[in-house]
Structure 1
């Protein structure tokens, strides 16, 4: 369960005592250090680590970290906004003890996500985890809604012995093939064992389409915990790979051509334990609220891509007819639509029905992505938005007249187009707040400038091992 209250200097009631007890328990289990993890605006996982014996102090007073990382790029260069990006100031990282786990793939270490707090003890406006936590709390208070979410995680497995910077697939079998599953059987079995040891319920793990590519699907949780889980599972996949002489990439485009790595989001809205995406009187059993929520997401997808597909490499993946969802279209179980209604299996729809958002990859900060998607959906709910006619088959086949009638248009084909759409979207910018919204635009513009003049091959290479 996710802690919903903001951290406070000195610790919330009972936190320090619990951290003391955890410290002793962890030490007894041979755990020597705790990874304090967050994700920056560029989608890069950043950490500080403390000895297990310092967990109580970190819980009470946090651990120092510069706010400059809010405007770091994937290549570790920094840009600046009016507020962020200077060498001045400091923040405190506060671990969420409810989400602390012992890392099965990294013996001797535990892991916990953090919220970032100012030196004065206030909410840091650039903290994406705090942003998502407040979006979720506001939705519960103002609309009586709770959400369940999960990220699909796709990654490419390469040989660690490959020449520096290159990607050599560690498996050669065909897509979804039994050969590929056998080739990396020991590795994927250890991934499953590590996830189980860390309390991560896995729905499936299998070979995917691209060379050396696999996918893992994990159980849905509340949005903050789902974002935490996405970060944890990727840390686990990477750590286990190192133990097998392998190297993994979650980059949207490991290679310039072909299918890339996605990070599709599954999201459902609930009220008083009832799933709003099934059992209703609207199309395919949606309730009116679920349809309005979906319509809100669909309407804002062009601007959302600046958050959900935030890397120049993202646009090497976002191509028509590759199941990436590059048109503003929705459909029932239609994998080429950007927004896919998943009804679930008959008899289990009350539990399984959800929306799948496809133009999302793992360069995205998962907290920013989920918070922005929920904000877009709530805007649709508030306005009573209605979904257009659904699309069946590949939207690329629609003629211009039919596409216009259904509101089907191409999503941004470049990060620059996505940033332009984001700059013009007042709803998303207001939800993020001025500090975080400006950080998003500054970092995205920095990434655009960083690859100016590079061809697709060099763009793919620039981000291949960053995510």
Structure 2
């Protein structure tokens, strides 16, 4: 598509990082200067981590005095060049270093990296993960089509062709591009990768989807509830455990829910801390319009096999002659949405799993129905609780869980609560309709 494209001079490379509210922030440099900043990065006010989606920053420990370095991570550069009439997109993901050159204790990417290292030290295993990216197209010129239909795909066929080419250039190992249940809603699924790479892929995939949509005159929104009372969008996270030989060791045909001992303990930890995890996986006030009973996005601390109303579910492959079932066996975490920082979300999930393994927790009780169909007494007897119904209650749940609160450094804990509290405060006067309208263009 770009064989005749002409360039006026050096392009712009964007050094990118993701903050507490899931926004990709950046500084740009001419590509001719890129080599000069690869090792030293660019300065960024530490207080930038306190930005909200409402422009006003939250209170933070740094004010105008402290600065960190956003340093490019080798191997994370993405270059998309598929249009004759638009410049390429070059973006490089960064990690934050403090003034001494050490990893900043508030860097979200470092938060995940540390959790991964701790999990490996404890178990000798690595975590592989993949996200499904649900999004809605705005400004398409048509309103609704039938869910999951070919019509829904062909209405935006050129956009999807461009998207496929761009994602392929980015080497994101895309497995499916498909229509979804909501109006003008679509989903991209990437293949599994080591957890840190999986989080990197999530950041890059969303920005490529947004970029391709812009080039076609659309707006791609990942808002968890773009329209009040309509289908929401999630970012379901699939994960499994891999040993040194590269084998998936999540599966045990004789284990509870077919889980290996480490996977069972991990699942037990996730469910035990699930309410406290809510600000990490549902980081926006609008997230809580999506979460709820019987929405296929889960509203309770429940666990199941193939149960799409469970917050954490086992996804066993079908029994097919000659197929080794352990290869693609995985767990799916369903409450996550794209307002969350993927590094903080995945890092906190791993920390909860580590706590479960260390405590030798059993696998959670398997639920074989929609938890909303049970009486309150039955749910109570099974240890199933409602998830937080607002960002305020989610933050309270985190604050009341001393172990979950300890996973962050003191500074990160402080600014995390400050940012999300301010986000909740500023959104509180809004009606559900205004809340959806407020966030639909941001995400």
After superposition, residues 224-235 of structure 1 pair within 5 angstroms as 224-235=196-207
1:51 corresponds to 2:27: no
After superposition, residues 233-248 of structure 1 pair within 5 angstroms as 233-248=205-220
Does the CA-based 8 Å contact 2:78-2:91 persist in structure 1?
A: yes
SS in structure 2 opposite 1:61?
coil
Does the CA-based 8 Å contact 2:266-2:353 persist in structure 1?
A: yes
Aligned to 2:236: 264
How many residue pairs end up in the alignment? 430
Gap regions ≥5 residues in structure 2? 1-6
1:295 corresponds to 2:265: no
Q: How many Å separate the matches in 2 of 1:284 and 1:124?
A: 39
Aligned to 2:73: 96
Q: How many Å separate the matches in 2 of 1:31 and 1:281?
A: 59
Aligned to 2:3: none
Q: Cα distance, 1:171 vs. partner?
A: 5.3
SS in structure 2 opposite 1:115?
strand
1:71 corresponds to 2:50: yes
SS in structure 2 opposite 1:242?
helix
| Aligned with 2:329 (options 353, 368, 386) | 353
| Aligned with 2:311 (options 338, 356, 360) | 338
Does the CA-based 8 Å contact 1:302-1:412 persist in structure 2?
A: yes
Does the CA-based 8 Å contact 2:271-2:364 persist in structure 1?
A: no
Gap regions ≥5 residues in structure 1? 1-27, 161-168
Aligned to 1:116: 96
| Change over 3 Å in CA distance of 1:388–1:108 after alignment to 2 | closer
Does the CA-based 8 Å contact 2:256-2:363 persist in structure 1?
A: no
Aligned to 1:9: none
1:398 corresponds to 2:386: no
Q: Cα distance, 1:369 vs. partner?
A: 0.3
Q: Cα distance, 1:170 vs. partner?
A: 4.4
Q: How many Å separate the matches in 2 of 1:170 and 1:250?
A: 19
Aligned to 2:156: 184
After superposition, residues 407-418 of structure 1 pair within 5 angstroms as 407-418=383-394
After superposition, residues 300-315 of structure 1 pair within 5 angstroms as 300-315=273-288
Q: Cα distance, 1:59 vs. partner?
A: 1.7
| CA distances 1:212-269 after superposition (whole Å, capped 9, x unpaired) | 1111111111111111111111111111111111111111111121221101111212
| CA distances 1:295-332 after superposition (whole Å, capped 9, x unpaired) | 11111110111110010000111121111111111110
Q: How many Å separate the matches in 2 of 1:274 and 1:374?
A: 19
1:215 corresponds to 2:190: no
Q: How many Å separate the matches in 1 of 2:123 and 2:39?
A: 33
